[in-house]
Amino acid sequence: MTVTEESPRTPAMAAGTEQTPCLVIDVDVARSQYEEIASAFAGAGVHYAVKANPELPLLRVLAAAGCKFDVASRAEIDLCLAAGASPDDLSYGHPIKKSEDIAYAYSRGVRLFAFDSEGELDKIVTHAPGASVLCRVLASSDGARWPLSRKFGCVPEMAVDLMKVAAGRGLDPAGIAFHVGSQQLHPDRWEPSIGTVAQIFRQLRRVGIELRILNAGGGFPVSYRTPVAPISAYADAIHAALRRHFRNVGPAVMIEPGRFIAAPAGVLHAEVVLVARKSYSDEPRWVYLDVGRFGGLAETEDEAIQYELSTARDGPSGPVILAGPTCDSVDILYQHAPYDLPLDLAAGEVIQILGTGAYTATYSSVGFNGLPPLRTVIR
């Protein structure tokens, strides 16, 4: 990297993270995000969705703070156990698992599994006998910046039938899960699913099956360029929906925040590779960075997640199109969303991409165009 003497250096550069691109994680921020959401949802089980950022030091800090975990693979189970979590604190929330992965989880002491189909239930009966199960129901992800479509969940009628099957085959029918899509901007989007879950509870109670857990999933948003409502607004809306639909006997509540805990803890340090114009008269400038869509910024697809940028320059700024370093033409971060950067920004300088602690390092490709995966540094 060529940084001339007079190039601005950011404080983090001075702290020894010279090699860009590099994701710097501040675990104290993650811990305070955990504490904030745990106190907003007092009494709920908070399971961090490990896929958002599985760095071991981060998991250690969360486990020590009392956080539980939502895991989706053997490796995530091993990481959480290595971080000091007890198997009782793990929920295997992925509804689609290989039989051997279910058996592995069971052998490590995991006893809570999600499913959304009869085929998956069969596997759990065989490989995790007697385990507790959560059936995932479809939920609308309207209003989510990163929606989840129909890949996971079944319709409520099917959930009722499958929970009867689960009870009949020796499993513990523990509850119902749903997920309203990631970076869900609307606090009221949990309410319809809570109503659905309450109905399922009532239908099963009539046949003598008492469910006890409502898993409201993740989706809790963070402020990127646009501020979002405080987490208390989401907690209030969910608590109001629980009171409305469950009346006096409320279920035990589980939540699975990923982005909310990890995103604010990360700052991605990138280098400007080139500032260019496509013609003598053209605005805007093209700014090419050494990190892009394939280097960890996958959520810039459709410009869905719009990160806040910071540079060490504070002069006048003008519009830019931001692109990544690869030879792939989809490797453009923002061309429609209006982004401005300082007019005197030059190659070799560092840009900080804020709020990048979630869904970045794990999304980065291995060796595309010879570029290494995004490196993470823990503070």
- Contact residues for ligand PLP, defined by CB under 6 A: 49, 51-52, 70, 93, 179, 182, 217-220, 256-260
CB of 317 to ligand PLP, least distance (A): 31
Q: In the bound complex, what is the minimum distance in angstroms from residue 85's beta carbon to ligand PLP?
A: 16
Residues in the chain: 379
Which lies closer to ligand PLP via its Cβ, residue 135 or residue 323?
135
Closer residue to ligand PLP (CB): 239 or 259: 259
User: HSE-up of 175 (CA within 13 Å, CB side)?
Assistant: 19
Question: Which letter does DSSP use for residue 297 in this model?
Answer: -
- The least distance separating ligand PLP from the CB of residue 140, rounded to whole angstroms, comes to 15
**Tokens encoding 118:** 């009869």
> Max CA-CA distance within the chain?
76
- Give least dist CB 213 to ligand PLP, A: 14
Task: Select 45 or 257, whichever has its Cβ closest to ligand PLP.
Answer: 257
Q: Give whichever of 51 and 186 is closer to ligand PLP, judged by the CB atom.
A: 51
- Taking the complex as a whole, the smallest distance from the CB of residue 205 to ligand PLP amounts, in Å, to 25
Contacts of 3 by beta carbon, 8 Å cutoff, 6+ apart:
9, 348, 349
Per DSSP, 283 falls in state -
Contacts of 64 (CB under 8 A, 6+ apart): 84
Question: Closest CB to ligand PLP among 178 and 288?
Answer: 178
